């Protein structure tokens, strides 16, 4: 273990929020549906004003803690499990949070994920730099300590902006990202253009209108050419297509593209940024990568220039690393799992440990068989849950599928034979709530690399 101060940043929706003493976004185990509806009751007050830019609206919303359990706001982002196992792994390596009397070297930083990544990077500076000063002053051996960032999803964008644009470069030793959309994600187009999931049916609150006010969600838009030009069929950027892309806020979109351009320019001008960056990326999952517009609606597609590159189900491989890093680079750590589980995946945590400790032993239990797991993020009560499974490398293996309720109760298990062609299993009768679908080996020592995905059954 180094003397560095390790800073943990979650992804979008991964921080609990409150107004005064009232928690407005804080899912508890077994109560995700209730949390979504509680959040929906406040959604009009949480919409951001036009022209908010990189400021705080002064509406009293404050971040509190990192999510420890699964969380999802339909129409905003992917279902994500909590950060408890990630923090537990860091604690097992000797990192500890501060106490009232003793500065620590583990600093989880929740943030208001509605706001611009630039704003949150400026706020990050006011938190981590005083904490680093206290840690350095705590003991002579800490005098040269620096910052190491461990970031999931959008948290990596905030850390990158702090490092390159807020004076954090000289203080930063390492930037470790898990599933960070370095170049955005096509999925954000779907959320902003098509709106909150139509399968939710009539709601008493408008998640779509809320989502379209968020600078942060716009800064997750893809900066790479990924939208078919309706006239030529050639892939183009959101900036090039302009008003051709329906429902996108032009001002917020252009600002988001400037965010990505400024980051790329700053990193390119500082070669040391590349050696400090360690990207752990999800692979082998069917992932929206490009998009097509027809009749004022947008359809996501898994292919990129006639190739299926896959990704973590949310962030495509083409966007999971910096533009100056080839997708086949041996500097990328690849883990076959879904976006919402990367920060808990044992192999990903082993990679993280190896980066932190500079150990030659990285993955303790490498698995040879990689699975591709496809489940819908949301179904309504009474619908069957379709689970599609493919062996990414083509071999045939028995796989145990387990559907577990958010309370921890297993609902159903089934063994299927996964091979090069997709096999589908249907699970019926799931009551409303959140569930995890796990695909694992059927015996100890199985060559299967486990994959996990979350779904929501809406009532």
Q: What is the CATH number of the domain that holds 31?
A: 3.40.50.1820
Same domain, 303 and 445: no
| C-beta of residue 45 within 8 angstroms of C-beta of residue 18 | no
Same domain, 300 and 429: no
Same domain, 337 and 428: no
Q: Which helix (H) or strand (E) holds 454?
A: strand 451-458
Residue burial 233-245, b: 16+ Cβ < 10 Å; e: rest: eebbbbbebeeeb
Same domain, 94 and 199: yes
Which one of 334, 357, 380 terminates a domain?
Answer: 357
Same domain, 397 and 376: yes
Same domain, 308 and 451: no
Count of domains forming the chain: 2
Q: What is the DSSP letter of 321?
A: S
Same domain, 285 and 337: yes
Same domain, 164 and 255: yes
Residue 113 lies in a domain: yes
Residue 363 lies in a domain: no
Same domain, 352 and 434: no
Question: What's the domain range around 419?
Answer: 369-458
d(CA 174, CA 1): 13
How many CA atoms within 13 Å lie on the side-chain side of 189?
29
Q: What is the CATH number of the domain that holds 398?
A: 2.60.40.1930
Same domain, 328 and 380: no
| C-beta of residue 433 within 8 angstroms of C-beta of residue 405 | yes
d(CA 338, CA 315): 9
pLDDT string in tens for the chain (459-residue length): 679 999 999 999 999 999 988 888 887 776 677 878 777 777 778 899 999 999 999 999 999 999 988 888 877 888 899 999 999 999 999 999 999 999 999 999 999 999 999 999 999 999 999 999 999 999 999 999 999 999 999 999 999 999 999 999 999 999 999 999 999 999 999 989 988 755 555 555 678 888 999 999 999 999 999 999 988 989 999 999 988 899 999 999 999 999 999 999 999 999 999 999 999 999 999 999 999 998 888 999 999 878 888 999 999 999 999 999 998 898 899 999 999 999 999 999 999 999 999 754 445 445 567 899 999 988 888 889 999 999 887 778 899 999 999 888 899 999 999 998 999 999 998 999 899 999 999 988 788 889 999 998 987
Which one of 293, 326, 357 terminates a domain?
Answer: 357
C-alpha Rg value of the chain to the nearest Å: 21
Same domain, 180 and 241: yes
Burial class of residue 222 in the structure, from the number of CB atoms within 10 Å of its CB (0-12 exposed, 13-18 middle, 19+ buried): buried
**DSSP three-state, residue 62:** strand
């Amino acid at each position: 273990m180094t003397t560095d101060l390790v800073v943990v940043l979650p992804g979008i929706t991964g921080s609990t929020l409150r107004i005064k003493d009232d928690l407005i976004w804080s899912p508890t185990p077994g109560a995700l549906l209730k949390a979504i509806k509680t959040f929906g009751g406040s959604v009009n007050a949480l919409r951001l004003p036009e022209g908010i830019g990189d400021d705080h609206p002064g509406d009293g919303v404050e971040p509190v803690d990192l999510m420890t359990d699964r969380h999802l706001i339909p129409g905003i982002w992917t279902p994500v499990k909590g950060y408890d196992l990630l923090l537990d792994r860091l604690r097992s390596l000797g990192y500890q949070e501060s106490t009232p009397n003793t500065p620590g070297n583990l600093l989880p930083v929740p943030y208001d994920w509605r706001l611009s990544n630039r704003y949150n990077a400026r706020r990050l500076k006011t938190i981590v730099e005083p904490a680093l000063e206290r840690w350095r002053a705590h003991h002579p051996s800490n005098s040269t300590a620096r910052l190491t960032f461990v970031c999931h999803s959008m948290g990596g964008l905030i850390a990158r902006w702090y490092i390159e644009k807020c004076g954090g470069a000289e203080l930063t030793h390492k930037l470790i990202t898990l599933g960070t959309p370095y170049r955005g994600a096509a999925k954000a187009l779907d959320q902003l253009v098509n709106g909150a999931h139509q399968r939710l049916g009539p709601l008493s609150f408008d998640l779509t209108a809320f989502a379209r006010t968020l600078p942060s969600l716009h800064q997750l838009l893809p900066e790479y050419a990924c939208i078919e030009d309706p006239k030529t069929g050639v892939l183009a950027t959101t900036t090039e297509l302009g008003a051709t892309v329906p429902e996108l806020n032009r001002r917020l979109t252009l600002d988001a593209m400037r965010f990505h351009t400024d980051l790329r320019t700053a990193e390119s001008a500082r070669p040391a940024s590349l050696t400090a960056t360690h990207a752990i990326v999800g692979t082998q999952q069917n992932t929206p990568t490009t998009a097509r517009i027809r009749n004022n609606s947008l359809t996501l597609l898994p292919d990129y220039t006639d190739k299926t590159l896959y990704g973590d189900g949310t962030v495509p491989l083409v966007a999971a690393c910096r533009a100056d890093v080839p997708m086949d680079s041996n500097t990328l750590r690849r883990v076959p799992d879904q976006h919402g589980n990367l920060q808990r995946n044992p192999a990903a945590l082993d990679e993280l440990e190896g980066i932190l400790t500079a150990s030659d032993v990285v993955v303790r239990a490498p698995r040879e068989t990689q699975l591709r797991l496809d489940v819908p993020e949301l179904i309504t009560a009474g619908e069957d849950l379709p689970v599609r499974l493919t062996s990414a490398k083509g071999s045939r293996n028995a796989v145990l599928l387990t559907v577990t309720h958010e309370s921890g109760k297993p609902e159903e298990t089934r063994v299927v034979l996964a091979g090069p062609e997709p096999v589908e299993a249907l699970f019926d009768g799931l009551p409303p709530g959140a569930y995890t679908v796990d695909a694992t080996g059927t015996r100890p020592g199985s060559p299967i690399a486990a994959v996990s995905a979350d779904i929501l059954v809406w009532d």
